[in-house]
Structure 1
Amino acid sequence: MSHAAIPIAGALMLGRERLSVPVIVTGIAFAMLPDADVIGFGYGIDYAASWGHRGATHSLLFAAISALVATALIRPEKYLAAGLFLFVAMASHGLLDTLTNGGLGAALFWPWSDVRHFASSTPIAVSPIGVANFLSDRGLKVLQSEAIWIWTPLVIVTLPVWIIRSRSR
């Protein structure tokens, strides 16, 4: 659920002068989009397959191609800022997943490697798959973990930048 925090923080820090509303909204969607790969379970795609959960859609290449296509379609005033924002928004998903304490890791370097990666430290509680499973005691523990390891650091970094930018206007 906290994947959207990265582009929200980025948008607050960069501001509307650099990012349009369509770019910000696309970035928030991009941050969550890689998990759409769970629909593959219903089609018999194995978790560990290239197109399984945390596979190709969690790769840096998928993020780069998606950012390029979206930037071309949105046609923002500031192509470079928008493209980088969208890339970071989607790439952050796989990178955050490497910090979780469960699952198979993320295939960051697909298609060159199907190896699933974890960070050297995995402090974030892995989220259960499915809304029903998320609305449970385990889901509450995940939210607490994400508040500590994702939201708190982002607030610490974002708030001063946002205050400085607000005062300079």
Structure 2
Amino acid sequence: MFDQHSTRRSPVEWALRWVADQPEVSLLLSGMSNMDQVVDNLRICSQNDITKLGMKPEDRTFLAHVAQTWKAKIKIDCTACRYCMPCPHGVNIPGCFSLYNNASMFDTWKSAAKQYKEQFIDKQMDASLCVECGACESVCPQQLSIIETLKELHAVFERMM
């Protein structure tokens, strides 16, 4: 969708512009892990139009459409914060959810099922290892139904294998 927009921006730039455009935001904190990201964020946030003019109405509409499309396609709204990790039983929870969401987003179910077997089942990190202890759900800041979604994704991928 971003490739079809007339203005070329990186996903990071779109995100920073959206946050800066929110009227209740007076300070923007961005997680960065290397100097290139710091430089990129400084470049983006130093532009006059991001701090003084805000977003154009058509950009707001575009991002609302992107968000609506995203929410319709993903299976679980996991942010990969990893608060649920490590799972005491070895389940790679954010990895499983990422694969599940990507399969749904891009309709790549067959290849995702193969990847699930090779990268999760074969390496003893798959959702079937979940014993429903609830350790993950008690710390999830998104309050996700992790246990139910793990069962669901495992069943879906098993049917595809």
TM-score (norm 1): 0.22
Higher relative contact order (CA 8 A, sep 6+): 1
- Give the structure with higher Rg (CA): 2
TM-score (norm 2): 0.23
